């Protein structure tokens, strides 16, 4: 059995030390068959830089991303997949 995870993230900017992941999406493929697709929105760290350019790319506002579920909520959901 060959299991493959394809994933993509969107962040609040390009600085890996100051920005946070706000979207984690992906596909789980087993033996060439898509078994699961997921898309999680995640609130950024409270001290994260949030660039307007990044918000424009994901078509969200700063208020939108701050209201996303916390990583503490999303991470267990991701692990269950």
SS (H, E, C) 30-75: ECCEEEEEEEEECCCCCCCCCCHHHHHHHCCCHHHHHCCCCHHHHH
Mean pLDDT of the chain: 96
Q: Is the pLDDT of residue 81 over 90?
A: no
11: domain CATH number?
Answer: 3.30.420.10
User: Given the DSSP bridges, would you call strands 33-41 and 3-11 parallel, antiparallel or unpaired?
Assistant: unpaired
Q: What is the mean pLDDT of residues 43-65?
A: 96
Q: What is the mean pLDDT of residues 47-54?
A: 96
- Express as a percent the part of the chain with pLDDT over 70: 100
- The secondary structure of residue 3, as a DSSP letter, is E
Calpha distance 39→70 (Å, rounded): 14
Q: Domain total for the chain? A: 1
10 CB neighbour count, 10 Å cutoff = 17
Range of the domain at 41: 3-80
């Amino acid at each position: 059995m060959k299991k493959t995870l394809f994933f993509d993230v969107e962040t609040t900017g390009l600085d890996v030390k100051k920005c946070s992941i706000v979207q984690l999406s992906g596909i789980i493929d087993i033996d060439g068959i898509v078994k699961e697709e997921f898309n999680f929105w995640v609130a950024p760290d409270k001290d994260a830089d949030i660039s307007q350019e990044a918000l424009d790319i994901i078509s969200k506002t700063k208020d939108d991303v701050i209201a996303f579920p916390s990583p503490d909520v999303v991470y267990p959901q991701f692990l269950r997949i």
